[in-house]
Amino acid sequence: MTAAVCTDDGRRTLAPPQRRRAAVLERRTYGSYVVLRVADPDGPPPRPGQFAMLAAAERWGGGDGERPFLPRAFSVARVPAPGEAEFLLEDVGPGTNRLCELDAGDDVWLLSPLGIGFAASESDLDGRRPLLVGGGVGTAPLAILQDELGDAAGAPLLGFRDAPHAEGAAYLRDARVATDDGSVGHHGRVTELLVEELDRDAHAQVYACGPPPMLEAVRALCAARGVPAQLALESGMACGFGACFGCVVPTKTGYVRLCVDGPVLDADQLETALVPGAGH
Amino acid sequence: MTAAVCTDDGRRTLAPPQRRRAAVLERRTYGSYVVLRVADPDGPPPRPGQFAMLAAAERWGGGDGERPFLPRAFSVARVPAPGEAEFLLEDVGPGTNRLCELDAGDDVWLLSPLGIGFAASESDLDGRRPLLVGGGVGTAPLAILQDELGDAAGAPLLGFRDAPHAEGAAYLRDARVATDDGSVGHHGRVTELLVEELDRDAHAQVYACGPPPMLEAVRALCAARGVPAQLALESGMACGFGACFGCVVPTKTGYVRLCVDGPVLDADQLETALVPGAGH
Amino acid sequence: MSAPSLPTSFCGIELAHPIVNGSGTFDAIAAQRAFGDALVEQFPFAAFVSKTVTVAPREGNPPPRLWELPAGLINSIGLPNKGLAGYLTHDLPELARLPVPLIVNVMGFTREEVAQLVTAFAERDEVAALELNVSCPNVETGTIMGSDPTETARLVERVRPLTQKPIVVKLTPNASDPGAVAEAAEAAGADGLSLINTIRGMALDPRTREPWLGAGTGGVSGATVRAVALAQVSDVAQRVSIPLIAMGGVQRGRDADDLLRAGATLVAVGTESFRDPAAGRRVAHELERLRRERTSSGAPTRA
Amino acid sequence: MSAPSLPTSFCGIELAHPIVNGSGTFDAIAAQRAFGDALVEQFPFAAFVSKTVTVAPREGNPPPRLWELPAGLINSIGLPNKGLAGYLTHDLPELARLPVPLIVNVMGFTREEVAQLVTAFAERDEVAALELNVSCPNVETGTIMGSDPTETARLVERVRPLTQKPIVVKLTPNASDPGAVAEAAEAAGADGLSLINTIRGMALDPRTREPWLGAGTGGVSGATVRAVALAQVSDVAQRVSIPLIAMGGVQRGRDADDLLRAGATLVAVGTESFRDPAAGRRVAHELERLRRERTSSGAPTRA
Ligand SMILES: Cc1cc2nc3c(=O)[nH]c(=O)nc-3n(C[C@H](O)[C@H](O)[C@H](O)COP(=O)(O)OP(=O)(O)OC[C@H]3O[C@@H](n4cnc5c(N)ncnc54)[C@H](O)[C@@H]3O)c2cc1C
Ligand SMILES: Cc1cc2nc3c(=O)[nH]c(=O)nc-3n(C[C@H](O)[C@H](O)[C@H](O)COP(=O)(O)OP(=O)(O)OC[C@H]3O[C@@H](n4cnc5c(N)ncnc54)[C@H](O)[C@@H]3O)c2cc1C
Ligand SMILES: Cc1cc2nc3c(=O)[nH]c(=O)nc-3n(C[C@H](O)[C@H](O)[C@H](O)COP(=O)(O)O)c2cc1C
Ligand SMILES: Cc1cc2nc3c(=O)[nH]c(=O)nc-3n(C[C@H](O)[C@H](O)[C@H](O)COP(=O)(O)O)c2cc1C
Ligand code: FES
Ligand code: FES
C-alpha cells in the first residue's frame, strides 16, 4: 500500500492517477443488494464518503443497448482489511447489472478514492453526537463511517422500500430500520425516526446518504431545527475527477462538480437536495 | 420441426423469416477448433453448404472496441440429430471469440439455413466421384456433405497449418491430412493431395471450402484439368439474406451476393477465388 | 403473435402501423428467395421502401463494402440496381405483390435524370409514393444536391409537377443545417421528408493501413447514429409541417417511440434488420406495447 | 514504465509525443486536487489544451449534462469557465506549472470578442498556441461561425495579426463540407487546424419523454464518432498543408495511428480520459509500440 496523502482537512485521500485492475475476492448478497469485496493492495485508504469509479474489466458494454460505456460511481462501503475495499451495489441499470454479475476471480477497473468525504473528526463533531441516516443503497458510505466513528456513532437510522431491501441493514451494526411497507421495523419514512431522535436530543451532527427526496427531507428538517447535516449526494458522472464538468449540482453559490467538490456537501450549501438527473 | 421447403434445385432449404433463440447443448474442442452443438427444434434441415447467422444471445458486443455488433456467418457443420445443428468455429476476432466462449446452457441467436448449398445429388454427380477438399475451418461444411454422401465420398482431403489445427480433421471420417509444417500427414499443401487424387482418377467432382488462396489454387487446378468444382466462398456479411448488398464477390458476369447466390459457387463462374476483404 | 395494429396515415397512405424499412436495407425479392412465402405472410413493415433506382444500371462499388463499428456499420454499397428499365420489368411486378404499399426511392445525377425517374413512376398504380435520394453531388454545380437548400428547392420544383403521387425528400445528415434544407424542400412542394441517411465515415485496413472500403469512404448507420438522428428529426419537425419518416439506429420500440415523440409520423428500421429480418415487426410490437402501457397508466403520450 | 518518446513538432512547438488532450475533456487543476503531484509526474499528455475560455464568466448549462450512448456520450456542458479575467488570474498561473506546453482554447460570440481574447493571450509567455473554438453561432449573422467558409475566413483574418503565436482553428463536424472551411481557414492565415468537435445529438428522458439534457441537445463524442472523425480528417488533410490535431473516439494506439496515417500531426484524446485519466499516456505508449513493431517488421509506415 502506498503512503496515503490526505488533503481538504483530511477528508480527501489522493488517488493514484490511473485506473487499476483489481480482483473481486468475494460476492455476498444482502437481500436486494450485492456486496463485492475487492483486493486493492495499491489503493491508499479512502476516507468515509469517498467513492470509486468502477467498471467490469471484461465485457463492459454489450448489454441491452450496448451500454455501459463509462465507469460508474460507487461509495467505498467499507475497508474490511488493509488493501481491500467493499462496495454495496443495487442493480438498477446496465452498469450495476454487469457489476452485480461479477464473482470471486473476476476483475474490475477501479479509480479510487475520489471526492471529499464526511467531516467527522472530533473537532468536526465539536461535542455533537453523530447521527447516521441512510436510505436504500445510500446505506453504503455509512458503514465505513460507522467503522471509523466506532462507539461514538449511535444506532444508524436506515430506510428501505420493503423487506428484501431492508436486509441491507445487516451490513451495518445495530441499525434502526423503517420500511415504506411496514414489513420490517418502523412503518414509514426514515425521517420519522430522525425526528424522534432529534426530539430526544438535538445536539447532533447528521450524516445522510440516500435518494434525493429523502436527502431533501433531511435537509429541510435539519435546517428548520438548526442541526448541522452533511449530505452525500449523487449525480450522473462520466469521469469522477473533475474532467468533464458533467456532474454539477446547483448550490447557493452556483454549480459545483460533485466529484471534486463533493459528493459530501454541507446541507446549508444547498437550496434543495433534489438535484436534476440523479436517482432512479 | 417445420416441414422443410426446398428451392434452387433442392440446394436451398428456406429459413424461417426471423432469428430464433437456441440453446447450446454441448461445447467440444478439436485442437484449435470449437464445436458447438445447438438445439434447433424449429429449424428446418439445412442442405450441405448452407450457413447460419449466429450471435451470442447475451453480451454480444462489449469486447475490445465494443464489437461484435452484427451476427456472424457459419456453415452448418453437421446435423447430429433431427432438430440439432453443429458449428465448427475458429476464434479469429471478437465475434468468434464470444461464440467460442459459449457453453452448454448458454443461448445463441440463429438465422438459418441460408444460402445455396452444394449440388451433390446423384444427377449432379452424374457418375463422377465426389472429392471433398478443405482448408482450415473450411472443413466445416464438408462434414455435413460427407454425412449426406455417405460411402460415395472418398477420403476428404484436408489441409491445416499445424498439429493443433490438424486435430480438426477428426471431425470428419477418414480424412487425409496435409500440414504446412509437416507435423501431421503430408508435409505441404492440400492441393498437392488433390493433384495426386486427380492424377489417379480425374473423373471427379470437387467440393472445396477453405481460405481464398487455397480455393484459388483448387479453382485453377480444376480449370486446367477440366474437373468440375464447387467452391464454398467467404466474404464479409452483415445480414446473410440479401438485404445489405455487402457480401458481393466478383464473378465473370458481375458481382453476386454471396449470401443469396452462394456461398457455394461453380468454380467456372469465377475469374478468381481471391475475393477482397475475406479471410484473415 | 397477431399483426401489430397502430393505424397511421402518411401523405394520404393508410398504414397498419408506423414502421417501414429504410431504403436499401431490405430486399424483399431476395428475402423471399431466402424465406419463401413466410416472409410475405408476416411482412415486417407497414410499407416497403425499395432500394434506390437510378436511370442507368449500376454494379455498385468494389468490395469490401462493409466495416463493422462499435454498435454500427459503415457501408459503401454504391447503389447497385438494375436501372430504371430493369426495375420496371423485373422488380416492380414482384414488389407489387407485397401485402403493403410500395414507396420507390430514386436518385439522379442531374435534375433531368430525377425528372425522368419521377415521370416513369408517375403513372404506375403499384407505386404509392416516391422518395428522392438527394445525397449525390449535382454533376453540374458540384455541390451535394441535398446539403444545399437552394439546390434542393430547385430539384423539388422541377419534379413536383410531374406526378400526383406524394414526393418524399430524403435529407442527408451531412449538412450544416438540415433544417434549412427541410424548409426549402417543403416550400418547393415536397409532401414529406425522410431522415437521416448515413453519415460519412471511414476506416483503415488494420494490416495495409489503406482505406478498408473499396470506395475509400462510406456511410455510417446503426445504433451509433441514433442520437444524431434524434437531434436532426427533432429540429426538422419543429421547422416544417409536412410529415416525416424518421430513421437512424432504431433497434427497439423505445427508439421508434423517441423519434415519433420528436415529431415523426413514420419510423424506418434499417441496419437492425441485418441483425434480424423480423426486426421491423418486433419494433412495431414493442411500440404497440409501449403505447398500451402508457395509455393504461394514464401518462401523457404527447405534450 | 518510461515516458513515451515519439518526438513531434507542431507549429514550431516541440513535443515528446503526438498525444494531447481534447479541450474540455481534462481539467489539469481539478485532476491535481484528485491525484496530487503524481498527476504532474506522469502527465498523460505532451501538451495541455485548456477548456474553452470566453470573455465573460459562464456557469454552463443546467444539469443533467450527460447522456451515455452505445460506445459514446452526449454532453451539454455549455462552456462553464471563469471568464478571461478569472482565467488569467486563477488558472493560467497554475497551468503554467505543468511540465508540458499550454494551448489555450478560446471562443467569442462576436469577432471582436475573439480578438479581445487573442490579444489578451498574445503577450503571455506561458501560452504556446491558441485554439479557436468556432462552433458557436455568430450573433451578428446567425450562422455558425465554423460551418461557413466565409465566416471562418473573416474571423481568422481579423485575429491573425494580433499575435505571433500559432493559431489553430477547431473545426465543427456539423458542416456540409468541413474541407471547404479548412481551406478557408488556411488561406486566411491559420497555422493549424483541429477536428473533430462533437456532433450534434439528443436523447429523451425515458420516463418524462422530454429531452434529457438540461440544454435540450448536446454534442456526441467517444468511440461512436471515430469513423466520422477519420473521414473528415482524411478529407481535410488532403485539402490543406497546415498541420492537424485530430480527435474523435480515440481509445487505443491504433486509433491514434489511423488518424496520423490519415494525415494528422497530433492526436487528441477526449472522452477516453473519462474512462481512465491515464488514457493519453497509454495511447502514446501503444502508439510507440506499434511504430516499433512496424519498423522492425519492415512494413511501410507511410505510403
Ligand atoms: C458519488 C456516488 C456514489 C454512489 N454510490 C453508490 C453505491 O454505493 N451503491 C450503488 O449501488 N450506487 C451508488 N451510486 C449510484 C450509481 O452510480 C448508479 O446507480 C449507477 O451509475 C447506475 O448505472 P447503471 O448503468 O446501472 O444504470 P443507468 O442506466 O445509468 O441508470 C441510472 C440512472 O441514470 C439515468 N440514465 C438512464 N439512462 C441513461 C443514459 N443513457 N445516460 C445517462 N443517464 C442515464 C437515469 O436517471 C437512471 O435512472 C453512487 C453514485 C454517485 C454519484
Ligand atoms: C458463408 C460463410 C461461412 C462461414 N463458415 C465458417 C465456419 O463454419 N466456421 C468459422 O469459424 N468461420 C466461418 N466463416 C467465417 C466467419 O464468419 C468469420 O471468421 C467471422 O465472421 C469473424 O468474425 P470475428 O468477429 O471473429 O472477426 P473479425 O474481427 O470480424 O475479423 C474477421 C476478418 O474481418 C475483417 N475485419 C476486421 N475488422 C473488421 C471490421 N471492423 N469490420 C469488417 N471486417 C473486419 C478482417 O478481414 C478480419 O480478418 C464463414 C463465413 C462465411 C461468409
Ligand atoms: C447497407 C445500406 C444500404 C443503404 N442503401 C440506401 C439506398 O440505396 N438509398 C437510400 O436512400 N438509403 C440507403 N441507406 C440508408 C438507410 O436507408 C438509412 O437511411 C440509414 O441506414 C439509417 O438508418 P439505420 O441506422 O436504421 O440503418 C442504406 C443504408 C445501409 C446500411
Ligand atoms: C464533456 C466534454 C466537454 C468538451 N468541452 C469542449 C470545450 O470546452 N471546447 C472545445 O473546443 N471542445 C470541447 N469538447 C470537444 C472535445 O475536445 C473533442 O473535440 C471531442 O470530444 C471529440 O473527441 P473524443 O471523441 O475523443 O471525446 C468537449 C467534449 C466533451 C466530451
Ligand atoms: S464526473 Fe466528470 S467532472 Fe465530475
Ligand atoms: S450479407 Fe447482406 S446481402 Fe449478403
Q: What is the pLDDT of residues D20-48, one digit of tens each?
A: 999 999 999 999 999 999 999 999 999 99
Comparing CA positions, the residue from D75, D68, D220 lying closest to residue A245 is D75
Q: What is the mean pLDDT of residues B170-174?
A: 97
Q: What is the pLDDT of residues B216-258, one digit of tens each?
A: 999 999 999 999 999 999 999 999 999 999 999 999 999 999 9
Burial class of B138 by CB neighbour count within 10 A (0 to 12, 13 to 18, 19+): buried
On chain D, the residues whose CB falls within 8 A of the CB of C74 are 227
Other Cβ atoms less than 10 A from the Cβ of D89: the count is: 11
On chain C, the residues whose CB falls within 8 A of the CB of B111 are 276-277
How many A from CA of B137 to the centre of ligand 2? 11
Within its chain, how far is the Cα of A183 from the centroid?
Answer: 24
Q: What is the pLDDT of residues D202-218, one digit of tens each?
A: 999 999 999 999 999 99
Q: What is the pLDDT of residues A269-280, one digit of tens each?
A: 999 999 876 644
- A245 touches D: beta carbon within 8 Å: yes
Q: Is the confidence at residue C302, as pLDDT, over 80?
A: no
How many A from CA of C21 to the centre of ligand 3? 9
pLDDT for the residue C2: 80
Interface with D, mutate which of B59, B60, B64, B66 (most D CBs under 10 A): B66
Q: Indicate yes or no: CB of A245 within 8 angstroms of CB of D35.
A: no
Q: What is the mean pLDDT of residues B5-32?
A: 95
- Residues tagged in the binding site annotation of C: 23, 51-52, 75-79, 105, 133, 170, 196-198, 222, 248-249, 270-271
Q: What is the pLDDT of residues C147-182, one digit of tens each?
A: 899 999 999 999 999 999 999 999 999 998 999 999
Find the residue in B nearest to D250 (Cα): B65
Nearest CA residue ID for atom 16, ligand 4: D22
Q: What is the pLDDT of residues C206-247, one digit of tens each?
A: 999 999 999 999 999 999 999 999 999 999 999 999 999 999
Nearest-neighbour CA in chain D from C23: distance (Å): 21
pLDDT for the residue C296: 79
Other Cβ atoms less than 10 A from the Cβ of A4: the count is: 14
pLDDT band at B280 (very low <50, low <70, confident <90, very high): very low
pLDDT for the residue B148: 96
pLDDT band at A197 (very low <50, low <70, confident <90, very high): very high
Q: Indicate yes or no: CB of D230 within 8 angstroms of CB of C175.
A: no
Chain D residues 138-197 with CB within 8 Å of chain C: 144, 147-148, 174-177
pLDDT for the residue D297: 74
Q: How is C67-119 classified by DSSP, letter by letter?
A: EEETTEEEE-----B-HHHHIIIIIHHHHTTSSS-EEEEE--SSHHHHHHHHH
Q: What is the residue type of C23? A: S
pLDDT for the residue C99: 97
pLDDT for the residue B257: 98
DSSP tag of C45: -
- Residues tagged in the binding site annotation of B for FAD: 72-75, 95-96
pLDDT band at D301 (very low <50, low <70, confident <90, very high): very low
pLDDT band at D99 (very low <50, low <70, confident <90, very high): very high
pLDDT for the residue B275: 85
Instruction: List, in sequence order, the alpha helices (H) in D62-136.
Output: 83-86, 92-96, 111-122
Q: Indicate yes or no: CB of B277 within 8 angstroms of CB of C26.
A: no
How many A from CA of B278 to the centre of ligand 2? 7
**CA B126 to CA A186: how far, in whole Å?**
86
Q: What is the mean pLDDT of residues A90-102?
A: 95
pLDDT for the residue B62: 63
B20-114 and B122-269 have identical folds: no
pLDDT for the residue C141: 60
Q: What is the pLDDT of residues D171-194, one digit of tens each?
A: 999 998 999 999 999 999 999 999
Pocket test for ligand 6, best of B114, B234, B244 (most atoms within 8 A of CB): B244
| More confident position, B143 or D175 | B143
Q: What is the pLDDT of residues D223-280, one digit of tens each?
A: 999 999 999 999 999 999 999 999 999 999 999 999 999 999 999 999 999 999 999 9
Pocket test for ligand 2, best of C66, C67, C213 (most atoms within 8 A of CB): C67
Q: Chains meeting C at 3+ CB pairs closer than 8 A?
A: A, B, D
DSSP tag of D107: -
Q: Chains meeting A at 3+ CB pairs closer than 8 A?
A: B, C, D
Q: Indicate yes or no: CB of C200 within 8 angstroms of CB of D147.
A: no
Q: Is the confidence at residue B1, as pLDDT, over 60?
A: no
Residue percentage of chain C with pLDDT more than 70? 95
Q: What is the pLDDT of residues A115-163, one digit of tens each?
A: 999 999 999 999 999 999 999 999 999 999 999 999 888 899 999 999 9
Cβ(D63)–Cβ(D90) below 8 Å? no
Find the residue in C nearest to B277 (Cα): C64
CATH for A20-114 is 2.40.30.10
Domain boundaries in chain A?
20-114, 122-269
Q: What is the mean pLDDT of residues A99-118?
A: 97
Nearest atom within ligand 6 for CA of residue B236: 1
On chain C, the residues whose CB falls within 8 A of the CB of A65 are 223, 251-252
Instruction: List, in sequence order, the alpha helices (H) in chain D.
Output: 28-35, 37-41, 83-86, 92-96, 111-122, 149-159, 178-187, 226-239, 253-261, 272-275, 279-296
On chain B, the residues whose CB falls within 8 A of the CB of C44 are 17
Q: What is the pLDDT of residues A27-59, one digit of tens each?
A: 999 999 999 999 999 899 999 999 999 999 987
- Please, which residues have CB within 8 angstroms of residue D295's CB and are 6 or more apart in sequence? D301
pLDDT band at D146 (very low <50, low <70, confident <90, very high): confident
Nearest atom within ligand 4 for CA of residue A238: 1
On chain B, the residues whose CB falls within 8 A of the CB of C281 are 18
pLDDT for the residue A61: 73
Q: What is the mean pLDDT of residues B60-83?
A: 87
Averaged confidence pLDDT in chain A = 94
pLDDT for the residue D37: 95
Q: What is the mean pLDDT of residues C110-134?
A: 96
Q: What is the mean pLDDT of residues D284-299?
A: 86
Find the residue in D nearest to A53 (Cα): D275
**CA D191 to CA A82: how far, in whole Å?**
53
Kindly list the strands in the beta sheet with B129-135, ordered across the sheet, starting from the edge strand earlier in the chain: B186-187, B176-179, B157-160, B129-135, B204-209, B229-232, B264-266
Find the residue in C nearest to D224 (Cα): C224
Which superfamily, per CATH, for C8-297?
Aldolase class I (3.20.20.70)
Averaged confidence pLDDT in chain C = 94
Residue percentage of chain A with pLDDT more than 70? 96
Q: Which candidate from C71, C209, C227 shows the least CB-CB separation from D201?
A: C227
Q: Is the confidence at residue A199, as pLDDT, over 50?
A: yes
Domain boundaries in chain D?
8-297
pLDDT band at C146 (very low <50, low <70, confident <90, very high): confident
C-alpha triplet C81, C83, C84: angle, nearest 5°: 130
Q: Which three cell numbers stand for residue B40?
A: 434447433
Cβ(B232)–Cβ(B212) below 8 Å? no
A276 lines ligand 1 (CB under 6 A): no
Q: What is the pLDDT of residues B94-128, one digit of tens each?
A: 999 999 999 999 999 999 999 999 999 999 999 99
Burial class of B91 by CB neighbour count within 10 A (0 to 12, 13 to 18, 19+): middle
Nearest atom within ligand 5 for CA of residue A73: 1
- A106 touches B: beta carbon within 8 Å: no
What is the value of pTM for the model shown? 0.95
Domain topology for A122-269 = Rossmann fold (3.40.50)
pLDDT band at C303 (very low <50, low <70, confident <90, very high): very low
Burial class of B269 by CB neighbour count within 10 A (0 to 12, 13 to 18, 19+): middle
ipTM: 0.95
Q: What is the mean pLDDT of residues A218-243?
A: 97
pLDDT for the residue D287: 97
Q: Which of C49, C53, C106, C136 is catalytic?
A: C136
Q: Which candidate from C144, C199, C232 shows the least CB-CB separation from D228?
A: C199
Q: What is the mean pLDDT of residues C193-201?
A: 96
Averaged confidence pLDDT in chain B = 94
On chain D, the residues whose CB falls within 8 A of the CB of B66 are 70-71, 223
